[in-house]
């Protein structure tokens, strides 16, 4: 009888744990339960209640050595923003191009991809989707419809670095495909059950002319894995939930 009771308790605990793990649906972004202060610190309770996701698909470059790169991220939303907290471990932070619009992908940068209506399809020289390269100075760049890189002020970004670990905290305004460069654009209001296309990546360069690795959150099939800056079809599909 004693063993039966112990067995029942263990069964109850294991069911409870697996139930907890099953509650995390990777296709769902949950709503922030408080106001986020974009300061590069995970100092909000709502972040501590949010699950980490991996940045672990090597899209470009050789197999990485231990300590070269590790990345993970979390996401939340409210009516105005998609929030991203990314924790990046990178052994050498490098920014060698003084002009932020020149070969920005060959400096260390975080890259955030957003397709407002999850329509998928080509976005290379249009605003069907955006691919923001966020530099170490927190400025973000994407290629415009004129096929030239521009700064886009769509993200509030803060980075805090201690040793080799950087925490990036972002609040991203979301614009639809009617966005006009230089125009009077209003970000979309986000709501429950809205679907978006999204992924995140890191360009890692430590000591080379060109970036050494490009590592992303999505598994991209086929030989050409550097598709995100052209094709929103490789983004992940997510739904905003309470």
Among candidates 38, 75, 70, 68, which has minimal Cα distance to 53? 75
For residue 118, the minimal CB distance to Ca ion (Å) is 7
Both tokens assigned to 165: 């670990």
Which residues of this protein are in contact with Ca ion, per CB under 5 A?
Answer: 37, 39, 41, 43, 68-69, 90-92, 108, 115, 117, 119, 128, 204, 206
Sign of CA dihedral 226, 231, 237, 242: positive
- Give the nearer residue to Ca ion in terms of CB position, either 41 or 189: 41
- CB–CB of 107/136 below 8 Å? yes
Among candidates 200, 191, 241, which has minimal Cα distance to 81? 191
What is the Cα–Cα distance from 104 to 200, expressed in whole angstroms?
A: 16
- Give the nearer residue to Ca ion in terms of CB position, either 111 or 204: 204
- Give the nearer residue to Ca ion in terms of CB position, either 205 or 217: 205
For residue 120, the minimal CB distance to Ca ion (Å) is 7
For the chain, the first-to-last Cα distance in angstroms comes to 44
Residue nearest to Ca ion (CB): 119
- Give the nearer residue to Ca ion in terms of CB position, either 43 or 192: 43
For residue 22, the minimal CB distance to Ca ion (Å) is 28
For residue 1, the minimal CB distance to Ca ion (Å) is 52
């Amino acid at each position: 009888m004693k063993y039966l009771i112990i067995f029942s308790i263990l069964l109850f605990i294991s069911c409870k744990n697996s139930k907890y793990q099953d509650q995390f649906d990777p296709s769902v972004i949950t709503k922030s339960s408080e106001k986020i202060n974009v300061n590069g610190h995970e100092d909000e309770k709502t972040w501590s209640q949010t699950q980490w996701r991996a940045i672990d698909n090597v899209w470009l470059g050789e197999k990485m050595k231990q300590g070269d790169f590790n990345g993970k991220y979390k996401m939340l939303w409210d009516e105005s923003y998609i929030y991203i907290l990314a924790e990046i471990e990178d052994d050498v932070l490098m920014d060698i191009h003084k002009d932020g619009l020149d070969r920005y992908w060959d400096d260390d940068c975080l890259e955030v991809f957003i397709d407002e209506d999850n329509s998928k399809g080509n976005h290379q020289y249009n605003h069907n989707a955006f691919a923001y390269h966020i530099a170490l100075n927190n400025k973000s760049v994407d290629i415009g419809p004129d096929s030239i890189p521009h700064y886009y002020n769509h993200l509030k970004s803060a980075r805090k670095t201690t040793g080799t670990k950087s925490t990036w905290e972002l609040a991203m305004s979301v614009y639809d495909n009617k966005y006009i460069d230089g125009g009077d654009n209003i970000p979309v209001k986000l709501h429950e059950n809205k679907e978006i296309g999204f992924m995140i990546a890191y360009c890692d360069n430590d000591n080379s002319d060109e970036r050494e690795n490009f590592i992303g959150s999505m598994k991209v099939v086929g030989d050409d894995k550097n598709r995100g800056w052209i094709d929103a079809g490789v983004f992940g599909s997510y739904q905003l939930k309470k």
